Amino acid sequence: MNKTELEDMNRVAGNGENCIEFLRNAPVATVAFSQGKYVTKIKRLAESHPDECVIVDENYDGSIVAHVPTKWIKISPPKQVSDEFREQASQRFKEMHETGQLKKKKKKRSK
């Protein structure tokens, strides 16, 4: 690979392209992610659902291509909550923390 080809690949990789592709009525969608949180999510889904989520390729730049059920594809706007609701939830969380009702979850480290 020459210097120009490598520079082009790095330029594309640096843009962080994410893509979801599927045909109407198709049972499987192809997803490609370079954004870390989605790469991690796909890897975890592949571990927990190996028959449904299949990693097709992991690229040199850390991006990933996988096949997932089309039924998993969902577009939804973020939930809108008022400042009052957010404050009440914060108070409930603090009370639960103080009374020991919340236990810290240990994060699993991937190897």
pLDDT at position 38 over 90: yes
Cα pseudo-dihedral 55, 59, 62, 65, rounded to 10: -30
pLDDT of residue 99: 87
Q: Report which of 110, 108, 19 is spatially closest to residue 68, judged by C-alpha positions.
A: 19
Q: What is the pLDDT of residues 47-105, one digit of tens each?
A: 999 999 999 999 888 899 999 999 999 999 988 989 999 999 999 989 888 888 777 66
Rounded Cα distance, 9 and 17, in Å: 12
Range of lowest pLDDT (14-18, 30-34, 46-50): 14-18
- What the block records as the tokens of 59 is 């690229």
pLDDT of residue 8: 59
pLDDT of residue 10: 56
pLDDT of residue 16: 78
pLDDT of residue 37: 92
